[in-house]
Chain A
C-alpha cells in the first residue's frame, strides 16, 4: 500500500461510522413534501385521463363532423307535392311509389332512388324519358321490359290519386310526434354557434356556525404553511396573522356564504345526424365567484374566490316541432370542466377593546381544484332564422353537477342543480 492509499484509508476510517444529527423537523417537512407530490400525482393523473378523454372525444367528433354528408333519400312530402300537381299518370305514380317503399331495404333499390328524385322534379314528359332510361338498365326485370308502354297509358282515377297522397303523407310521419307538424327539414349538416349562458339562481345562506369556502383538508394544509389556523373540528377559518382568535366570539358569529350565478361563453359546432337530431360539442368558458363572510363582535373575516373554468360539452338536440319559422328543440347531454385559473383572497379585521386597537391583514393566493367537474344537463329551446344561414336561439334548462370532491366550494358543490338560460347565434352551413 503506497502513501496515497494510506492517506485515503486513514480519512475513510475517520469518516466510516460518521453520522450527523438530522434536523428535528426533517421528517415533518419530508411528509409535507411527499403529500404534495401525491396530490400532484393525482392532479396529473386526472389531467391525463381528462386530456385523453377530451382528445378521443375531439378525434371522434372531428371524424364525425368531417365525414362527407350522406346523400339525402328522396323525401316523400316533396314527391307528394308533385303527385298533387296531377301531372303524372296513375300508372307512373304507382310504379314510383313501389320504388320508394322498398328503397330503404335493398341496395339495388337505393340505386334507383335518383331516378325517383328525378321523377319528382320533372314534368310528365320527362317521366317518360326516365322510364325509358330505366328500361335500359341491366337489372330491370323482363316483366318491366315487356310492359313499359302499358304503364304510360293507364289513366288514374281521382280516388286513386287521393289514396296515394294519403299513404305518402302517413308514411313520412310515422313517429312519436306524428301528431305534430314538422316542416320539411331544411337544416344544413353543420351548425356553428356562439352562445352565452347565465345561471338563473345564485346560492346564499346565512347561519350562526362559522363557514369557509375551503374544505377541511385544504384548510389544515394552509394552517401549516400559511399561518392560517382553524378552530378545532369546526373547520372554521378564524382569522389571519395577528388577528386574535377569540373562542367567545364564535357564539356571536354570523356567517354568510354566497355563490354568484355562473356566467359562461362558448363556441359550439353541431352536426345533423337525422331530420330531427343533431349532436353538438365545443368549448365553453365559465366564470364562478363565491364569497364567505364571518362577522362577530370583535372580528370580521371575508373570503372571496374566483374560478375560471374551461369545459367541453357534448349534447344531443332533438327538433320536435316547427311553428312557422320558429323551431323548438329539446337538448340533453353532459360536460367536463376544469379550472384554468383560480384566486383566493382572505381579509380579516380584529378589534381589541381592551387594548383599544384594531388589526387587519389580507392575503391573496392562486388556487386550483384537484379534480375535473362533470355535469349532465337538459333543456328546451327555440331557434328562429334571421338572415341567410343565421339563426337566433335560446334555451332554458338545468344542469346537475356531480360531487368532484374538490378543495374549494363553488356553486357546483353546494347547489348541485343549477338552472340556466342560454342564448346565442347560430350559423348553418
Chain B
C-alpha cells in the first residue's frame, strides 16, 4: 500500500491504515519532537498529540505537496503551541538574560566541522539550550522560516528573533569547539 492509498484509508478512519501510517512516520516525527523539546517525556506527549491531530485532520490534506511536509508542519505547529503555553508560565526574557552573560557577542567560527560531532551530542546541546533559543534555532535552521515570520509566530520582535538565533548558534558552536578540542587533544 503506497502513501496515497494509506492516506485514503486513513481518511475513512481505517484503524489498520492509521496504524501503518503511525509506524511509518512516527520515528521521523519523534525526531522532530525531540529537537523541539527539552526532554524525551515531553517529546513523547507531543508525538501522541501530534498524531491524534493528524488522524482527526487528515481529511483536510488535499494531496498537494509532500505528505511528510504536511505532517511535519503539524508537529512543528504543535511544538510552537507548546512553547507558547510554557512561555506563559516562565518568562521568556528570563532565559534570554540567563545565558547572556555567558556568551560573547563575537560569533564563533562558522567553518567548524559539525559533521564530526555525533548526532546525539548535537541533540544534547540543542536540548540544553534555553527554550526560546531552541525554538528559534530549530525554526531557522531546519524549517527555513524567516525571522520576520518567527517574530509573528512567537510574539516577539524580529530583532529578538535574530538575537535568539545568534546566541543559540554561538552556544552550539562553543560547545562543538570545545568537543572538537577534546577530541583532538
Interface residues of A (CB under 8 A from B): 3-4, 6-8, 10-15, 18-23, 26-27, 29-31, 33-34, 37-38
Q: Which segment of B44-52, B79-87, B150-158 sits at the interface?
A: B44-52
12 pairs of residues in contact across A and B, judged by CB atoms under 8 Å: A7-B114, A10-B115, A11-B141, A14-B114, A14-B117, A18-B31, A19-B31, A20-B33, A20-B43, A21-B27, A34-B15, A34-B52
Given A26-B22, A26-B47, A34-B55, the answer on whether A13 and B30 have CB atoms closer than 8 Å is: no
Residues of chain B with a CB closer than 8 A to A34's CB: 15, 18, 52, 55
Give the distance in Å from the alpha carbon of A6 to the alpha carbon of B15 in the complex.
43
Give the distance in Å from the alpha carbon of A192 to the alpha carbon of B45 in the complex.
55
Q: Is the CB of B110 within 8 A of A4?
A: yes
Check B160 for interface membership: any CB of A closer than 8 A.
no
In the complex, besides A21-B27, A27-B22, A33-B52, 14 extra interface pairs with C-beta distance below 8 angstroms are A8-B141, A10-B113, A11-B114, A11-B141, A14-B114, A14-B122, A15-B122, A18-B28, A19-B28, A20-B33, A23-B47, A27-B19, A31-B15, A34-B52
In the complex, the chain A residue whose C-beta lies closest to that of B23 is A27
Q: Is the CB of B26 within 8 A of A26?
A: yes
Option from B18, B27, B115 in Cβ contact (under 8 Å) with A22:
B27
Give the distance in Å from the alpha carbon of A22 to the alpha carbon of B26 in the complex.
7
Residues of chain A with a CB closer than 8 A to B112's CB: 7
Minimum CB–CB distance from A167 to chain B (whole Å) comes to 72
Given A20-B34, A37-B56, the answer on whether A6 and B111 have CB atoms closer than 8 Å is: yes
In the complex, the chain A residue whose C-beta lies closest to that of B55 is A34
Check B35 for interface membership: any CB of A closer than 8 A.
yes
Q: Is the CB of B44 within 8 A of A23?
A: yes
Given A20-B27, A22-B30, A34-B15, the answer on whether A15 and B22 have CB atoms closer than 8 Å is: no
Given A4-B110, A14-B115, the answer on whether A20 and B122 have CB atoms closer than 8 Å is: no
Q: Which 7 A-B pairs have the closest CB atoms?
A: A3-B110, A19-B27, A20-B30, A18-B31, A10-B114, A22-B26, A20-B31
Residues of chain A with a CB closer than 8 A to B26's CB: 22, 26
Residues of chain A with a CB closer than 8 A to B140's CB: 8
Check B184 for interface membership: any CB of A closer than 8 A.
no
Check B169 for interface membership: any CB of A closer than 8 A.
yes
Residue with the greatest number of chain B CB neighbours at <10 A, chosen from A21, A22, A31, A34: A22
Minimum CB–CB distance from B10 to chain A (whole Å) comes to 11
In the complex, the chain A residue whose C-beta lies closest to that of B27 is A19
In the complex, the chain B residue whose C-beta lies closest to that of A8 is B141
Residues of chain B with a CB closer than 8 A to A7's CB: 110, 112, 114, 169
Residues of chain B with a CB closer than 8 A to A10's CB: 113-115
SS class of chain A's interface: helix, strand, loop or mixed?
helix
Check B119 for interface membership: any CB of A closer than 8 A.
yes
Residues of chain B with a CB closer than 8 A to A20's CB: 27, 30-31, 33-34, 43
Q: Is the CB of B51 within 8 A of A30?
A: yes
B105-148 at interface with A (beta carbon < 8 Å):
110-115, 117, 119, 122, 140-142
Minimum CB–CB distance from B59 to chain A (whole Å) comes to 13
B30-70 at interface with A (beta carbon < 8 Å):
30-31, 33-35, 43-44, 47-48, 51-52, 55-56
Residues of chain B with a CB closer than 8 A to A29's CB: 48
Residues of chain B with a CB closer than 8 A to A19's CB: 27-28, 30-31
Give the distance in Å from the alpha carbon of A37 to the alpha carbon of B22 in the complex.
17
Minimum CB–CB distance from A42 to chain B (whole Å) comes to 12
Q: Is the CB of A26 within 8 A of B115?
A: no
Option from B28, B113, B142 in Cβ contact (under 8 Å) with A12:
B142
In the complex, the chain B residue whose C-beta lies closest to that of A26 is B26
Residues of chain B with a CB closer than 8 A to A21's CB: 27, 30
Q: Is the CB of A33 within 8 A of B48?
A: yes
In the complex, the chain A residue whose C-beta lies closest to that of B30 is A20
Residues of chain B with a CB closer than 8 A to A3's CB: 110-111
In the complex, the chain B residue whose C-beta lies closest to that of A5 is B110
Residues of chain A with a CB closer than 8 A to B35's CB: 15
Residue with the greatest number of chain A CB neighbours at <10 A, chosen from B35, B43, B141, B169: B141
Residues of chain B with a CB closer than 8 A to A26's CB: 22, 26, 44, 47-48
In the complex, the chain B residue whose C-beta lies closest to that of A23 is B44
Minimum CB–CB distance from B98 to chain A (whole Å) comes to 24
Residues of chain B with a CB closer than 8 A to A38's CB: 13
Interface string of B1-28 (1 = CB under 8 A from A): 0000000000001010011001100111
Option from B13, B30, B33, B142 in Cβ contact (under 8 Å) with A15:
B142
Minimum CB–CB distance from A341 to chain B (whole Å) comes to 28
Q: Is the CB of A15 within 8 A of B31?
A: yes
Give the distance in Å from the alpha carbon of A13 to the alpha carbon of B27 in the complex.
17
Give the distance in Å from the alpha carbon of A8 to the alpha carbon of B140 in the complex.
9
Q: Is the CB of B119 within 8 A of A14?
A: yes
In the complex, the chain B residue whose C-beta lies closest to that of A36 is B52
Residues of chain B with a CB closer than 8 A to A8's CB: 140-141
